[in-house]
Amino acid sequence: MTIRTSTELDAARQECLNLLIVYFTYRGTVAEFDRSWSRFELHRWWTTLRVFENDLIMRICRLDDDDKSLHSLRQALQSVRPQLLQKEASALDARLKTYRQLINPLKTKARNYFLAHLDKKATKVPVDPRGGLEVPLAEVVNIVDAMVGETVHYRLRVGSLEPELDLRSELSGNTTRA
């Protein structure tokens, strides 16, 4: 299998890394819940989770942008299309279409009504993930793998004394350190 790279694909890989870092932090925050917290502490925790969810939604959605002046999965695919066999390109086109359908409720409701804009007609958050973002996040990571031509390793090392994290394992629920 040929390893592919381009500026556009590198931008998508970087966004996958950012997505996985935010998701790892989100999961850690979920796990910190303590029943002994005051109502203020509980409110602060809940607000933090919502901010992480909003960030994840924005990142997941912006990878589906159509604008040629913006980095996106479509632009990444266009940048490596000459290196792909027709069968691979068609399969990736189909995956991007499926991805767009998968995230459509997030993009058209949560992002457009409440995150990027404040729609006057919407009275409540129409899409409230409360977690549940693992499927579109995993699909982004897998699409980028297919474009690159191999499994991309997303690692985070925050200091010389801390273990390196394999963020892909963190997404799958395995908390092994690299």
pLDDT one-digit tens code per residue, 64-80: 988 899 999 999 999 99
Average confidence (pLDDT) over 79-85: 95
Both structure tokens of 144: 């980028």
Give the residue among 48, 17, 45, 1 at the shortest CA–CA distance from 144. Answer: 17
Q: Does 178 reside within a domain?
A: no
Give the total number of structural domains in the chain: 1
User: What value does the mean pLDDT take over residues 99-114?
Assistant: 82
Q: Which two tokens stand for residue 171?
A: 């997404």
Residue 1 lies in a domain: no
d(CA 18, CA 160): 20
Is pLDDT above 50 for 177? no
In a domain, 89, yes or no: yes
- Would you say residue 127 lies in a domain? yes
| Domain presence at residue 151 | yes
Average pLDDT, stretch 108-126? 67
- For residue 106, being part of any structural domain is answered with yes
* Cα distance between residue 124 and residue 114, in whole Å: 9
- pLDDT (tens digit per residue) in 14-51: 999 999 999 999 999 999 999 999 999 999 999 999 89
Is residue 115 over pLDDT 80? no
Residue 124: per-residue pLDDT: 62
Task: Say how far apart CA 21 and CA 46 lie, in whole Å.
Answer: 19
Residue 163's domain comprises 7-172
Residue 101 lies in a domain: yes
Assess if residue 60 is contained within a domain. yes
The answer to whether the CB of 17 falls within 8 A of the CB of 154 is yes
Separation between Cα atoms, residue 123 and residue 32, nearest integer Å: 31
pTM of the model: 0.87
- Would you state the structure tokens that stand for residue 94, as one six-digit string? 């189909």
